[in-house]
A and B are shown apart, each in its own frame.
Chain A
């Protein structure tokens, strides 16, 4: 594992199984449980606006985790992640609309379907690396985007299509309060699954492919198999994220899955920290909350000279997009290992206080 944990004295391991636990110390595990309890209680004291933001962090976080598995853990690159997200959304909507598949089954099926598509588009990864792979995934972005715009039977063409709301035995999860629990459940399950994968043999193989593929190949790791599997796994996560997005919004349209969204996913992963599971969630939260923070600031300074000077009523949209770009650049310069690294530094500072060296 890439993390260095500072365990207190007396906390030692006696079995190999203890060495590979997800939470290295009891305090960390307890904090996570407290956090989950707070999250479960969130609909009681947060209003719909905040729950919507948390739901958005949830489904984008799942998709971003897929990208992190691909980029952070396997060292590949993908600029086509948005269309896999979109494919999941369209597939789930299509299954629930045309084939009357209940939504609780349509979401995992859509994930599996997207994984299959991701495997196909991941095949070039067997032969090419780096910038060339980036262009190949860019091809996936444009091919699937065009497919979405034309395949009226699947997506409704340029007009978009409706996705049925999540219903279990007549109980519909169509308000933010109820849908929040569904997203929370999926986030917990999928994040635990990703952490688990990373500590299995396959996960270690993926990291080996990233770190030194030549040595990995010599050791017996089948590069093609793991590279393509990484694409499939990442698309599965993107598909689930997309399906949740589709059923929450109720309406899926090809306009939402542009290359700009692919770049935003990359930004989430970079800002959060490549190769860090927890970092993905932090990066996603940052990317979702940044435009909202700017909205809040703009509303707060409405009417003031700065507002007029920047012409914020019209300029705010542009400023938001500029802020995303600026965030990526600033993080790459000052914090290339992302928020996860910064968080570890903060934890280390306080653990070693006053001897922080």
Chain B
């Protein structure tokens, strides 16, 4: 009898669970985020940035955006299922996406359904709207992202490494290696980057595989040491970078790590401590949380949407999430004034301004240009280097950054040439 009651209660609850989610009125926006999955260490911050920015946009006038956040735990089929569900329920006019695997899987679908997709995946395969490039694999006219593509960021890091080698007076050919998991996101820049590294005169070694989750990477670090690698491109996310840095410090591998945009941030510096000193990272934004300029004032106001005290330290991914949402919001605004808020109009809105910076975010979001033939919005890569001067376990990230124990300093600004043969891969 008790079991019966339990079962009937479960069924009753199941029946009441199908209530629609979006209670706010406004233009429906889909938001796919990873809050609990393999990339949650950076996914959560980015998702908070997007959510706070959309809340800020709603509070300061402009077209009201009602977004529905779905946590897909970095499981690509779940994201595809969410998209399909949205097509019959929420019917979003634009989507803020996340991962490479699901974004690439949805390219053809969003093109058919004409839904602009702003991903947090910067895969080179998403940059060619018309599949014109010699190495393009697909046409992605409805895919946009704010930031340099993984391939371009890697090329910039390779360029910095080549200059660094010359500056250090290195003799002979420096050795370059790609380190990452066997997954679409780390695999994205492999081909493009090794080609450019060879062009720059590097001796490119066989890629080293290590997992996206933290683990024991002693074996990989020993390989680095034995191969005599000078510059190792870190393709995975921040969580596994911490484990990698610790393992390599233990093993004594003296390598200059150059990390992709997701691979290194203030949290890694705190977690890995001294091991994280000197790592170079490609940064998508013009400022970090500790900077002060008019754009950062707006960012602090946006951060106050979820943290009124202003005490939370916002890492690099948070600020990038704001930029991604801001470009989408301005595109929706333009579409509202020029023919109605539809997918194709929002796509057209993205092409209206060259060297576009969203209002209020000058100095934070770098000027980006999208054209109907080229969705590489940003070719300027900020190269930062982390510096850790003392122990990081006692204090929190905020204190460590403000008292100077940890710092992220800009060491270079690389503007890549917009080569036609570099599009699409």
**Interface residues in chain A, defined as those with a beta carbon under 8 Å from any beta carbon in chain B:** 47-50, 52, 149, 158-160, 162, 175-176, 249-253, 255-256, 286, 289-290, 292-297, 299-300, 313-314, 316-318, 334-335, 339, 342, 346
Q: Which of A49, A314, A342 contacts B4 (CB 8 A)?
A: A342
Smallest CB–CB gap between B231 and chain A, Å? 25
> Is there an interface contact between A339 and B7, defined as CB atoms closer than 8 Å?
yes
Type the 1/0 row for B401-415, where 1 means its CB is closer than 8 Å to any CB of A. 000000000000000
* Identity of the chain A residue whose Cβ is nearest the Cβ of B181 in the assembled complex: A158
Rounded to whole angstroms, the CA-CA distance of A318 and B40 in the bound complex is 13
Known: A255-B77, A334-B3. A293 touches B104 (CB 8 A): no
Residue B50 interfacial (CB < 8 Å):
no
CA distance A342 to B3 in the complex (A): 8
Query: A162 CA to B101 CA in the complex, in Å?
Result: 12
B88-139 contacts to A (CB < 8 Å): 88-89, 101, 104-106, 108-109
Q: Mark B1-23, 1 if CB is under 8 A from A, else 0.
A: 00110010011011011110100
Stretch at the interface among B79-87, B159-167, B307-315, B346-354: B79-87
How close is B108's CB to chain A, nearest CB, in angstroms? 7
State which residues 129-182 of B face A: CB under 8 Å.
Answer: 182
Q: Give me the 5 closest cross-chain CB pairs, A-B, nearest first.
A: A296-B17, A48-B88, A289-B14, A293-B14, A317-B36
Measured CB to CB, the closest approach of chain B to A260, in angstroms, equals 10
Contact between B17 and A159 (Cβ–Cβ < 8 Å)? Answer: no
> In the complex, which of the residues B21, B76, B85, B89 has the most CB atoms of chain A within 10 Å of its own CB atom?
B76
Closest chain A residue, CB of each to CB of B35 = A314
Distance A317 CA – B70 CA, assembled complex (angstroms): 11
Q: How far is the CB of B70 from chain A (nearest CB, A)?
A: 10
Contact residue among A250, A314, A346 (Cβ-Cβ distance under 8 Å from B36): A314
Interface residues on B, range: 35 or more
Once bound together, how far apart are the Cα atoms of A339 and B10, in whole Å?
Answer: 13
In the complex formed, the residue of A with least CB distance to B105 is: A251
Cα-based distance from A300 to B21 in the complex (angstroms): 10
A299 to B71, CA, bound (A): 14
B73 neighbours in A (Cβ, 8 Å): 317
Contact A160 B182 (CB under 8 A): no
The residue of chain A having its C-beta at the shortest distance from the C-beta of B13 within the complex is: A293
Which of B4, B17, B19 is A346 in contact with, Cβ under 8 Å?
A: B4
Establish whether residues B76 and A48, one from each chain, have CB atoms under 8 Å apart when the complex forms.
Answer: no
Across the interface, which residues of A come within 8 angstroms of B393, CB to CB?
A: none
17 contacts between A and B (CB under 8 A): A48-B89, A49-B18, A49-B85, A52-B84, A160-B76, A250-B109, A251-B77, A255-B101, A256-B75, A292-B14, A295-B17, A299-B17, A299-B21, A317-B35, A342-B3, A342-B4, A346-B4
Complex: chain A residue closest to B79, CB-CB: A251
User: Given the complex of chains A and B, what is the CA–CA distance between A294 and B16 in angstroms?
Assistant: 10
Q: How far is the CA of A318 from the CA of B71 in the complex (A)?
A: 11
Whether the pair B89, A49 counts as a contact (CB closer than 8 A) is yes
Question: What separation, in Å, do the CA atoms of A297 and B16 have in the docked complex?
Answer: 8
| B301 within 8 Å of A (CB atoms) | no
CA distance A83 to B137 in the complex (A): 29
Separation of A346 and B105 alpha carbons in the complex (Å): 47
Q: Which residues of A contact B106 (CB under 8 A)?
A: 251
CA distance A334 to B183 in the complex (A): 42
Q: Bound complex: CA of A255 vs CA of B100, how far in Å?
A: 13
| Residue B294 CB within 8 A of the other chain | no
B44 within 8 A of A: yes
Set of chain A residues within 8 Å of B391, measured between Cβ atoms = none
A252 to B11 Cα, complex, angstroms? 30
